[in-house]
């Protein structure tokens, strides 16, 4: 892996910027030169200021710094989806994740193995009894991290079904207070937050906990204010109708939203929504019916 200094030097020279220009007001020209050539230590504040002066995002810098690891993990994410959708062999994928973890000792690979095993079991309607170690590994890892990033949020979002409602609500409240303010500057985080909220709404629907919708719906609405995120707004409309109509909800209630997706060429997405919500009425009971079931 290349050093930070090498990456900064490469980016600076590619932009035809002098050492004096880049160092001005941040550090001495000599200090920047030593950093580029010898990878001497500098503070994160100075590094971020240097990147800003070159108009380089932190993500671009990290991609250059860890290009091979970054590309490899992006491929893992792509394979994850394809294998889960049965386009590739799951046994080979699981063995690959375990092998990469053994070689690198990077918890990313083991946690992805745990996540995949749990999602595959749910997709196949299999018991989670034999996956207690995987569940514990995910819970233990997340509980050790005080400030979650995109990786932690993604793991949690896709494994919501192994956490209790109280824990999910605590995370929702934490995210609402600490994370949402950064979304305008981090599109990838905004996307991950959206899917987290969507997964919460789906889980609450299946658990017949529509009383929790008011916790999540405003967050989805907030994300969907930007017209660029039209799908977010369509999702908000769909789940708002589920909340309002409850046991009277049917796919006919969201015909307009599904027609819009079909018209825009997202027919497969529309079908996925239909499949997910086709049995939603069986999860939602009339208040009096629910009371009778609980007696």
**Is 181 found in the same domain as 114?**
no
Range of the domain at 126: 67-144
Q: Would you say residue 254 has pLDDT above 60?
A: yes
Residue 51 lies in a domain: yes
**Is 116 found in the same domain as 106?**
yes
**Is 8 found in the same domain as 34?**
yes
- Return the number of other C-beta atoms located less than 10 Å from residue 215's C-beta: 18
Helix (H, G, I), strand (E, B) or coil at 146: coil
Q: Would you say residue 121 has pLDDT above 60?
A: yes
Domain closes at, from 65, 83, 110? 65
Residue 158 lies in a domain: no
DSSP string, 107-167: HHHHHHHHHHHHHHHHHTT--SGGGHHHHHHHHHHHHH-SS--HHHHHHHHHTGGGS-HHH
Residue 153 lies in a domain: no
Q: Of all residues in the chain, what percent carry a pLDDT higher than 90? A: 58
Domain closes at, from 144, 171, 194? 144
Residue 87 lies in a domain: yes
Residue 200 lies in a domain: yes
Residue 114 lies in a domain: yes
pLDDT of residue 127: 92
The structural domain count of the chain equals 3
Confidence of residue 150 (pLDDT cuts 50, 70, 90): confident
**Is 197 found in the same domain as 124?**
no
Residue 150 CA: distances (Å) to CA of 29, 137, 188, 190, 194: 35, 18, 8, 10, 12
pTM of the predicted structure, to 2 decimals: 0.73
- Return the number of other C-beta atoms located less than 10 Å from residue 224's C-beta: 19
**Is 209 found in the same domain as 171?**
yes
**Is 275 found in the same domain as 227?**
yes
Tracing tokens 């299999």 back to the chain, one arrives at: 126
Average pLDDT over residues 262-289: 73
Q: Report yes or no: 291 and 213 within 8 Å, Cβ to Cβ.
A: no
Tell me: the pLDDT tens digits for 179-205?
555 555 566 778 888 999 999 999 999
Instruction: Name 146's Cβ contacts closer than 8 Å, sequence gap at least 6.
Output: none
**Is 232 found in the same domain as 174?**
yes
Domain closes at, from 84, 117, 144? 144
CA dihedral 109, 112, 117, 118 (to 10 degrees): 150
Q: Residue 25 maps to which CATH number?
A: 1.10.260.40
**Is 257 found in the same domain as 190?**
yes
**Is 221 found in the same domain as 109?**
no
**Is 201 found in the same domain as 170?**
yes
**Is 73 found in the same domain as 39?**
no
**Is 184 found in the same domain as 79?**
no
């Amino acid at each position: 892996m290349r050093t930070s200094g090498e990456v900064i030097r490469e980016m600076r020279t590619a932009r035809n910027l002098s050492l004096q220009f880049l160092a001005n007001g941040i550090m001495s020209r000599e200090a920047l030169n030593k950093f580029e050539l010898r990878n001497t230590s500098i503070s994160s504040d100075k590094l971020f200021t240097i990147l800003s002066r070159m108009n380089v995002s932190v993500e671009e810098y990290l991609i250059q710094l860890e290009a091979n690891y970054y590309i490899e993990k992006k491929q893992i994410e792509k394979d994850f989806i394809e294998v889960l959708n049965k386009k590739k062999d799951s046994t080979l994928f699981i063995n690959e994740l375990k092998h990469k973890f053994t070689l690198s000792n990077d918890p990313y690979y083991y946690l992805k193995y745990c996540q995949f095993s749990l999602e595959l079991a749910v997709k196949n309607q299999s018991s989670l009894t034999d996956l207690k170690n995987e569940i514990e590994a995910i819970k233990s890892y997340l509980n050790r991290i005080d400030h979650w990033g995109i990786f932690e949020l993604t793991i949690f979002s896709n494994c919501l079904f192994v956490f209790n409602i109280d824990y999910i609500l605590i995370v929702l409240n934490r995210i609402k207070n600490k994370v949402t303010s950064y979304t305008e500057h981090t599109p990838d985080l905004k996307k991950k937050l959206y899917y987290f909220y969507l997964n919460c709404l789906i889980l609450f629907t299946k658990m017949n906990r529509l009383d929790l919708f008011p916790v999540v719906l405003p967050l989805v609405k907030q994300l969907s204010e930007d017209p660029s995120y039209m799908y977010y707004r369509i999702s908000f409309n769909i789940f708002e109708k589920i909340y309002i109509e409850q046991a009277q909800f049917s796919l006919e209630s969201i015909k307009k939203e599904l027609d819009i997706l079909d018209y825009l060429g997202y027919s497969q997405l529309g079908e996925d929504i239909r499949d997910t919500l086709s049995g939603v009425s069986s999860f939602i009971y009339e208040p009096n019916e629910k009371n009778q079931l609980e007696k």
